[in-house]
C-alpha cells in the first residue's frame, strides 16, 4: 500500500462517501488528528460527521465511514481546532430561500465530536420545526461512539516500520521454520519467544520443535503465517489480505497467545465485514471471545437483510445464531435421543441404588428402612446430572425464556449473573 497518499485524498474520499476506496488508499499509521485546508477546523472524523449532517444524501453512507474511522483510531473526544466562536455549522429548510426563518446554528469552538453532536441534538429538539431526519442521523452516530470505544494508538514514524520490515526480510538469519499447509515460512526464534509464551515453551523444550526448530501447522496456509509474522514484526502490512488470510493469522495469534497482535488483526477484520465474510468472521469472534468484533458483527447482522435471511434458513453456525439472539432449532429425533439418555441414566441409577440399599439392610426386614435407603442412594446417584455447567444448545421449550434473557444481556454490565440456561452435557452425536 502506498504510504505517499496525502490527506487531501483521504478527506476527498470521505466527502464522496466512498468507503471502499477509503479502505484501499488509507496508508498504515495515518494521522487521524490532522485537519484539511478546505475544512481547517475538522479532523477526518469530524468532517465525516459534518458531511452527513449538512448533506442529506450522505446520511446513508456517512455512518459506515464514521464507524470505520473509529475502528482505525479516530478519537471522538478530540476537539475541533477552531477557537473562533463565529465559526459554525448552519442548517435550514430548503423552502426557506433566505435561511433566516428556519436557520439552526451550532458553533465549532470548544466542542469534541461527542459534545458537538449533543449540542446539535439539543438545538434541533428546541426548534419548532421537524428535523427528524437529522436527529436520527445524529443519534445513529452517537450509538456508533458507544459501540466503538476509543482505543490508544501510538503514531510510529514510517522509518521504524521499514527497519523492522528489513529485519523480517533477512531470511538468511532466520532459524525457525513453520511447516504450513502449502509451504514453509521462516522467522527468528528470539522474536517469537519474546512475544509468545506458547512458542517460547515449544522452542525451548526437548521435543522436535525445540531440537529441530521446526513447527508444524498444517492447518494454516502460508499466507496466514506470513501475515501473522508481518504483524508481529512491524504491526502493519503493505498487502491487502482477504478475510480468510486475516482469520488464519488471527487463529495463530490466539493459539500462541500473542496479545499485541490480536487487537491489530481484530481491527483488520472489522473493515472486512461483508455478507460473504460475515459467518466466518462472526464465528471466530464468538469462539475467541473478541468482544469488539462481536459487537460489530451483531450490529452488521441485525441491519443486513441478507444475513437475516441466512438466519431464517438456519445456514449460520450455532454460535453465530446465538450472537444474533437466536438459538438453533433441534429436531424431535434429537430431543428423543436426549430424553432416552436421561431416562436410561435415571433407571440405571435406580437399579444400582436399589441393590446397594438392599445389601445394606439384609439383616433388617423393615420395609420403610429399605425404601429410605433406596431413595437416598438414588437421589445421590442422580444428583450428579444436575451439577453440570457445560454450556450448550437448549432443546426444550422451558429454556426459551432464559435464553432470551441471556441474549438481551450481551455486552451489558448490569445483567444478573445468576441467569443460566437449563442444559445438560449430552454427547456430541446428540448436538446439531
**Do 158-323 and 7-147 fall under one CATH topology?**
no
The DSSP-derived string for 366-428 is -HHHHHHHHHHHHHHHHGGGGG--------SGGGHHHHHHHHHTTT-SSS-TT---------G
CA 196-198-201 angle, to 5 degrees, is: 110
SS3 110: coil
Q: What is the pLDDT along the chain (432 residues), one digit of tens a residue?
A: 344 578 889 999 999 989 888 888 887 667 888 888 777 888 999 999 998 888 888 888 899 899 888 878 788 888 887 655 567 777 877 776 655 677 888 888 888 899 999 999 998 888 888 888 889 999 999 888 887 765 555 666 677 778 888 999 999 999 999 999 999 999 999 999 999 999 999 999 888 888 889 999 999 999 999 999 999 998 888 888 999 999 999 999 999 999 889 988 998 888 888 899 999 999 999 999 888 888 888 888 888 899 999 888 888 888 888 888 875 555 667 667 777 877 777 777 777 666 766 666 565 555 556 666 666 666 666 665 554 444 444 444 444 444 444 444 444 444 444 434 444 444 444 444
Q: Dihedral (C-alpha) 187, 192, 194, 200: value to the nearest 10 degrees? A: -130
Residue count (the chain): 432
Please say whether the beta carbons of 87 and 171 come within 8 A: no
- List CB contacts of 303: < 8 A, sequence separation 6 or more: none
**What residue segments make up the domains of the chain, in order of their start?**
7-147, 158-323, 332-429
Cell numbers at 44, concatenated = 477526518
Q: Domain 158-323: which CATH class?
A: alpha beta
Distance of CA 363 to the CA centre of its chain: 66
pLDDT of the residue at 430: 46
* pTM score: 0.56
Q: Residue 147 and residue 71: Cα distance in Å, rounded?
A: 10
Q: Domain 7-147: which CATH class?
A: mainly alpha
Which residues, in sequence order, are bridge partners of residue 88?
107
- Quick: pLDDT tens for 286-322: 999 888 888 888 888 888 899 999 888 888 888 888 8
User: Rounded to 5 degrees, what are φ and ψ at 399?
Assistant: -90, -10
pLDDT of the residue at 182: 92
Cell match 441393590: residue? 355
Amino acid at each position: 500500500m502506498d504510504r505517499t497518499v496525502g490527506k487531501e485524498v483521504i478527506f476527498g474520499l470521505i466527502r464522496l462517501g466512498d468507503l471502499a476506496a477509503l479502505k484501499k488508499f488509507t496508508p498504515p499509521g495515518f494521522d487521524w488528528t490532522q485537519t484539511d485546508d478546505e475544512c481547517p477546523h475538522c479532523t477526518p472524523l469530524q468532517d465525516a460527521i459534518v458531511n452527513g449532517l449538512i448533506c442529506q444524501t450522505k446520511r446513508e453512507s456517512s455512518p459506515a465511514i464514521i464507524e470505520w474511522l473509529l475502528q482505525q483510531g479516530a478519537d471522538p473526544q478530540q476537539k475541533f481546532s477552531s477557537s473562533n466562536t463565529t465559526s459554525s455549522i448552519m442548517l435550514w429548510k430548503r423552502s426557506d430561500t433566505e435561511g433566516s426563518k428556519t436557520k439552526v446554528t451550532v458553533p465549532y469552538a470548544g466542542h469534541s465530536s461527542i459534545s458537538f453532536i449533543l449540542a446539535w441534538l439539543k438545538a434541533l429538539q428546541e426548534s419548532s420545526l421537524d428535523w427528524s431526519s437529522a436527529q436520527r442521523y445524529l443519534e445513529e452516530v452517537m450509538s456508533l461512539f458507544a459501540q466503538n470505544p476509543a482505543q490508544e494508538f501510538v503514531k510510529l514514524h514510517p522509518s521504524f516500520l521499514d527497519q523492522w520490515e528489513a529485519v523480517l526480510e533477512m531470511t538468511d538469519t532466520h532459524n525457525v521454520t513453520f511447516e504450513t499447509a502449502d509451504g514453509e515460512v521462516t522467522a527468528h526464534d528470539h522474536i517469537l519467544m519474546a512475544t509468545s509464551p506458547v512458542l517460547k515453551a515449544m522452542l525451548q523444550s526437548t521435543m522436535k520443535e525445540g531440537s529441530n526448530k521446526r513447527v508444524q501447522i498444517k492447518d494454516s496456509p502460508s499466507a496466514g503465517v506470513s501475515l501473522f509474522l508481518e504483524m508481529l514484526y512491524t504491526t502493519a502490512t503493505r498487502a491487502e489480505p482477504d478475510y480468510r488470510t486475516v482469520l488464519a493469522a488471527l487463529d495463530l495469534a490466539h493459539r500462541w497467545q500473542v496479545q499485541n497482535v490480536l487487537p491489530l488483526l481484530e481491527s483488520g477484520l472489522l473493515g472486512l465485514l461483508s455478507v460473504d465474510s460475515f459467518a466466518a468472521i462472526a464465528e471466530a469472534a464468538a469462539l475467541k471471545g473478541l468482544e469488539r468484533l462481536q459487537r460489530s458483527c451483531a450490529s452488521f447482522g441485525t441491519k443486513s437483510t441478507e444475513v437475516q435471511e441466512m438466519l431464517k434458513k438456519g445456514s449460520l453456525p450455532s454460535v453465530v445464531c446465538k450472537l444474533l439472539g437466536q438459538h438453533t432449532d433441534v429436531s424431535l429425533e434429537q430431543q428423543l435421543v436426549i430424553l432416552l439418555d436421561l431416562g436410561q441414566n435415571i433407571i440405571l441409577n435406580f437399579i444400582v441404588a436399589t441393590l446397594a440399599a438392599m445389601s445394606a439392610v439384609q439383616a433388617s426386614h423393615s420395609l420403610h428402612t429399605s425404601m429410605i435407603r433406596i431413595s437416598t442412594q438414588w437421589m445421590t446417584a442422580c444428583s450428579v446430572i444436575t451439577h453440570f455447567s457445560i454450556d450448550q444448545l437448549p432443546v426444550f421449550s422451558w429454556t426459551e425464556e432464559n435464553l432470551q434473557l441471556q441474549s438481551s444481556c450481551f455486552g451489558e454490565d448490569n445483567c444478573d449473573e445468576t441467569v443460566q440456561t437449563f442444559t445438560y452435557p449430552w454427547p456430541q452425536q446428540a448436538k446439531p
